[in-house]
Homo-oligomer: A and B are copies of this chain.
């Protein structure tokens, strides 16, 4: 196991929840809610990524600090499971911590709760790799900074994250459901399509009625490769029954095409699963 239970973290600056857990707060702004008055999942995703960024930064592992060393964090997978989506004007707290560190990946978890009454909206899991900016190759997390990252691990037995890990998506044999071009607003500072924009584009596959009587219970997304400004994205969808669940999941695959999308093939950029539940 690559887990270090030493007490060396006791010298870290303490924040709410202790030296290995950070808590970040935000309010659900009117401009961040959908037509049902609930937070957009993409905006929640953004807040989770911000929480992750600050937690890393405060421990010397932020992207801005790593860039000087020519490394950067790459989000590989994100799974969000909610019993309720925060509503307009609610105050939300996100706890984040690292559950494990392997050679090439680290698992970071999130707890999402109401800051006023403490009720839990849900949890999230994420998997990150560290890559060398020049070579685009993954780096050995255990060798960087003399294994310092292990000081921040909280094993699952100590702080559980009670949602399933990312599950596989099906194979897609059908025709693409939609193809969209990508523009200026889709890309981040690296010129890549923004990870949150994929979430928006995926939810845009569903009609208005889908959101009127349901909420997004679970959303899983795996980032397989980067796409760039100007790429055409094609979206494949498949309804899949979930074991022991009343409602099916929609599995989604996004493939990219440089220029016009002529063939159904194309490199896989993103795989995702969306499960709605009745409100």
Contacts and interface: CB of A to CB of B under 8 A. Distances in A.
B31 A196 contact: yes
Chain B CB within 10 Å, residue with most, of A29, A40, A49: A29
A91 B88 CA distance: 25
Contacts of A89: 64
Contact of A229 (B196, B208, B229): B208
Interface in A19-76: 29-31, 33-37, 40, 42, 46, 49-50, 53, 63-64
Interface residues of A, number: 38
A30 B53 CA distance: 9
B42 A185 contact: yes
Given A185-B204, A208-B184, A50 B29 contact: yes
Interface of A: 29-31, 33-37, 40, 42, 46, 49-50, 53, 63-64, 88-89, 183-191, 194, 196, 200-201, 203-204, 206, 208, 211, 229-230
A208 B194 contact: no
Contacts of A201: 185
Contacts of A185: 34, 40, 42, 200-201, 203-204
Given A30-B189, A34-B185, A35-B187, 7 more contacts: A31-B188, A31-B196, A34-B187, A34-B188, A35-B184, A37-B189, A40-B185
A190 B35 CA distance: 6
Contacts of A200: 185
Nearest 7 A/B pairs, CB to CB: A183-B204, A185-B200, A35-B191, A35-B187, A33-B189, A37-B189, A185-B204
Contact of A34 (B35, B63, B189, B208): B189
Contacts of A184: 34-35, 203-204, 206, 208, 211
17 contacts: A29-B46, A29-B50, A30-B63, A30-B188, A33-B189, A34-B184, A34-B187, A34-B189, A35-B188, A35-B189, A35-B190, A35-B191, A184-B204, A184-B208, A185-B200, A185-B203, A185-B204
Contacts of A31: 46, 49-50, 188, 194, 196
Contacts of A229: 35, 208
A88 B35 contact: no
A103 B211 CA distance: 39
Contacts of A53: 30
